A = this chain, B = another copy of it.
Amino acid sequence: MPIPAHLSLAIPDVDLPRIIIVGGGFGGLNLAKELRKTEAQVVLLDKNNFHTFQPLLYQVATAGLEPDSIARPLRKSLEGSPNHFFRMVKVTGISSERNEVVTSIGNLSYDYLILANGSVTNYFNKKDFRPKVLPLKRIVHALDARSHILQNFEQAVMTKDQNELEKMMNIVVVGGGPTGVEVSGALAELKRFILPKDYPDLDFSQMNIHLIEGSARLLNGMSDFAGKEALNYMKKMGIDVQLSTFVEDYDGDTVTLNSGKIETATVVWSAGVRGNVVEGLEESSVERSRILVDEFSRVKGTENVFAIGDVAMMQSEEFPNGHPMVAPVAMQQGRHLAKNLKKILKKEETEGFKYLDKGSMATIGKNKAVVDMPNGMHFKGFFAWLIWMFVHIMYLIGFRNKLITLNNWVWSYITYDKGSRLIIRTFNRKFMRRSTAINKN
């Protein structure tokens, strides 16, 4: 659309090197914070005005937390840094030869550009059913999913037709990664502890939660132990896990698998992500929708363009196909690049990035979690779950968010209750017409 004449990015021209950071996720935000006291002008660009703690998005989708518990205004994180600027704009591309980023309201030149705009939901070219499934990549997605699921139960109560009832009550989760496992587990707890109280006139033995995973195991990023134990937990919780199974089609009513069909109005799409690569990079610098970078996070074939986090593919002996697309990598690359940029500004030697694996974990439900320690140790159960809670609370950005989130968790731990069962985003106004997710990638 045309750019209104009265608008411009309005970044003052000062006698400082300008560092533009695209994206306020784990990578970009940590980078920006580390650069606080640097002799440089730092411009953070994001289409949202907040940072999202994505590992807990599933809690918003399953009515456990409200958005403000897992999100924080980006401006707040930059407060008190006169050389830091935030602009809420969409970056549509870059022009590396002209050293400019292209945004929805004009271009901005940079001395150093850092692409940290993460990843988007991967629909594997299934464009036709993309508008019918519920992704879980952004807060609006989570709110849409919550409203969609709760609206279906409100509708189920009023449904005579057995086939329609199944559609309303069944939920299919696609993708057995952390998100898929965690959302399935949370849904199973909703089914067991919450929904029967809210909907006494429904028979919840008719509610089926299906988790569809293409590979032969769950939690591929984690140990075999974690995968097996997660599977055991899910079976105990009554979740129908179908491994080595692929979704071929979904028409809004029926999921077609290579192994059969499932009737459902709700398909949560956590099948994977792909790098959110902007326009304007050389083809040679992009591989499998990620940007090829060297050990200094420098984009192949450029001098002053860097990429970190999900969107970057930093290949190493340990990670021949690039580092895992997870928050810890993004955070560490963000902090490490900050150090290097300071060195570059001081004309000092830069250091290569080394990923410090602090282990990984996933939670399936109350007292149910799996943890892989960096030393190769694995464990599960209550203690693993405690660690999961602790780590997530600690990493939550902003003391207030921690407080509220803890508050919520303690509450729901004691009462088995979930707070946020409000249908607020009736993005489908006509309640009777089935809602369909609005994908915003």
Contacts and interface: CB of A to CB of B under 8 A. Distances in A.
A104 interface: yes
Given A159-B6, A198-B79, A424 B150 contact: no
A160 interface: yes
Contacts of A207: none
B3 A50 contact: no
B407 A161 contact: no
A158 B86 CA distance: 10
A20 to B, nearest CB: 15
A48 B432 contact: no
B197 A79 contact: yes
B404 A88 contact: no
Contact of A1 (B68, B158, B430): B430
Contacts of A161: 5-6
Contacts of A244: none
Contacts of A424: 67, 139-140, 143
Interface stretch (A117-125, A298-306, A331-339, A413-421): A413-421
A307 B423 CA distance: 26
Contact of A4 (B4, B82, B422, B432): B432
A404 B8 CA distance: 40
A198 B75 contact: yes
A432 B1 CA distance: 9
A39 interface: no
B49 A105 contact: no
B160 A6 contact: yes
Interface string A102-121: 00110000000000000000
Contacts of A49: 150, 154, 421-423
A432 B104 contact: yes
Contact of A73 (B7, B48, B89, B198): B198
Contacts of A151: 88
A160 B421 contact: no
Number of copies of chain A assembled together: 2
A400 interface: yes
Interface in A119-177: 139-140, 143, 150-151, 154-155, 157-161, 164
Contact of A199 (B3, B75, B150, B158): B75
Given A8-B158, A431-B47, A422 B67 contact: yes
Given A10-B157, A75-B421, A429-B440, 18 more contacts: A7-B432, A8-B158, A8-B160, A49-B150, A49-B154, A49-B422, A49-B423, A66-B67, A73-B422, A76-B197, A76-B198, A87-B154, A88-B151, A88-B154, A88-B431, A90-B431, A105-B432, A143-B424
A85 B422 contact: no
Contacts of A90: 431
A419 B143 CA distance: 18
A10 B73 CA distance: 45
A9 B104 contact: no
A339 B423 CA distance: 32
Contact of A400 (B4, B157, B417): B417
A421 B432 CA distance: 32
A201 interface: yes
A231 interface: no
Nearest to A73: B421
Given A8-B160, A158-B7, A50 B104 contact: no
A66 B164 CA distance: 34
Interface in A55-83: 66-68, 71, 73, 75-76, 79-80, 82
A108 B440 CA distance: 40
Contacts of A320: none
A419 to B, nearest CB: 5
A411 interface: yes
A344 interface: no
Contact of A160 (B7, B160, B404, B425): B7
B164 A6 contact: yes
A216 interface: no
